[in-house]
Amino acid sequence: MNITNKILLVAFILAVAVPLAFAGHHYHGYGHGKDMSWNMSDKDSNGDGTLSFEEFSAKQMDMLRAGFDMIDTDKDGKISVDEWNTFLKVHGVSPKA
């Protein structure tokens, strides 16, 4: 195998095989809670047999909203610098000065 073919093989592995390996790892349920449903009809809130982006991402949006609301301690719909720094400190991260 000449050097060009070796370079092409390595490029293929990096561009295609590695992402596919990670995708397979992810789609087998790693990192998801026990309440994760793989049944599409559970996500199809309007019952049209398809998933819109909003239906597809609803659970993640609920989780993001809960996280945002937790940080927004004064409940004004905005995260202030003080609220953000408190969040960082609680999680062991030093805010930048």
DSSP character string of 8-68: HHHHHIIIIIHHHHHHHHHHTTTT--TT----HHHH-TT-SSS--HHHHHHHHHHHHHHHH
pLDDT in tens, 36-89: 678 888 899 999 999 999 999 998 999 999 999 999 999 999 999 999 999 999
Domain boundaries, the chain: 1-32, 37-97
pLDDT at 28: 46
pLDDT at 38: 81
- Res. 10 pLDDT band, cuts 50 70 90: low
pLDDT in tens, 15-31: 655 555 444 444 444 44
CATH number of the structural domain 37-97:
1.10.238
What is this structure's pTM?
0.53
